Chain A
Amino acid sequence: MADQLKGIWKDWRLHMLVFAIVALTEWIGVFSFTVGPGVVLLLPMLYAMLIGLGLFFTPVVKKKQALNAEPLIVLGVTLLIAKIGVIIGPSLPKLIEAGPALLLQEFGNLGTIFLALPIAVMLGLKRESIGMTHSVAREPNVGLIVDKYGFNSPEGRGVMAIYIFGTVFGAVFMGVISGFLATITPIHPLSFAMASGIGSGSMMAAASGSLVAAFPAFSDDIIAFAGASNLLSLSTGLYMSILIGLPLTEKMYTVLTRKKQRNAEIGKGA
């Protein structure tokens, strides 16, 4: 990180743009609307990202700004982590009490295999679906798939597709669905707080941010649980994929495609 940081503080065009985006979006504030029994919350951070993305296509943002913005995300995340740290400190006894839930919910990350893999196969995707659905496709998982199958394999293309979607729209998507799911299901906001830590700082911030906006009474507990779970996901995510996620996906893929083939044959016979 050392070399790429040189002189970025001097990119005043970039910092003034972000300053203007932040002032504008925080002034607009949280916008929420109901969909049936649920609530969709749109947080300032979500508009901030979309405005930033939109500006990239105007002459205001040049390639230099887009390049310089990258290390600032990393540095901004360090401040976010420091803030999460000082929230966790005083609630450490509570976190230890909830330790079993925190550890076990990491296995819930395998939920993607049971939900998304059948859908991918149904949509006619072949071995791409293994790369796509074995995990939530953050950096360590991309590394694993590329290492095992190669970058230009169907599995490699699959994991890259989900990685790209997550990079561009992950935070916006998680921010919208976390508030919505927490208001339409009977599941407790603290359970969703733990689920928010899926191994990406910005997705965790967006998902837990919506929960905080929807349930301000639990604000500190939500952040402490989400932050602790995100740290756990970051440190266990890769091993979870190697030991359970990927073998399970391979196995389920074989079962699902065999069944599909058989159905197709029966279809032809009739």
Chain B
Amino acid sequence: MKILVCISHVPDTTSKINFTDGDSKFDTNGVNFVINPNDEFGLTRAMWFKEKQGASVDVVNVGGAETEPTLRKALAIGADNAIRVDTPATDGFQVAKQLAKVAKEGEYDLIIAGRESIDYNGGMVPGMLAALLDANFINTCISLEIEGDKATAIREIDGGKETLTASLPLVIGGQKGLVEESDLKIPNMRGIMQARKKPLNVVAAEEVSTRTEAAKFEKPAPKGAVKLVDPENLDELIDLLHNEAKAI
């Protein structure tokens, strides 16, 4: 089984979110970038398929050279090859198109992407990729087993979950649950050394016109200080929720 894991290069959760160039660009100054958490769960599940079922695992990212440390980290976790499509990621459709080209050429059986990136939260790349490849698609996937060319997956739905089956080739929009957080791998020294020698192929991007353009950014208005209510005076809390917040 050939697996491709799509890796998004995102600011870590604790990053300060600021914008530059007249609020048109994300300010990367002093920001630490990581593998998108939703992708990391998928990557770790892919490692399980590699260890237990002899799968090969490639990772791919669409982005400039600055994203390579993130791909190297994926290699250090255990991926076999990395591919970087050499173009900035501009919108979900453009990224999905670039990934579709890589996916077609590599003839992958299973493609795992995170359900969304934690920066732009578009949540559209996995589905668009599946549609472009005419492959089966399961989103918000929290469990995945593969037997031959048949996949059994559990998808999180509003208020519960459902079990689905589909044949390969399959695209997964993954998230926590594919593996647990405690199963995530921190690359060890040996992995990091090996990753330096593993192939990281830079491929030229296709010409793709985008369908959306991110214009100006804006930060939410600063929040006022919390209003503390005395635990002996809970009527006040109910009054505030009813009359001030109009929430009950």
Is B one of A's binding partners?
Answer: no
List residues of chain A with CB under 8 Å of any chain B CB: none
List residues of chain B with CB under 8 Å of any chain A CB: none
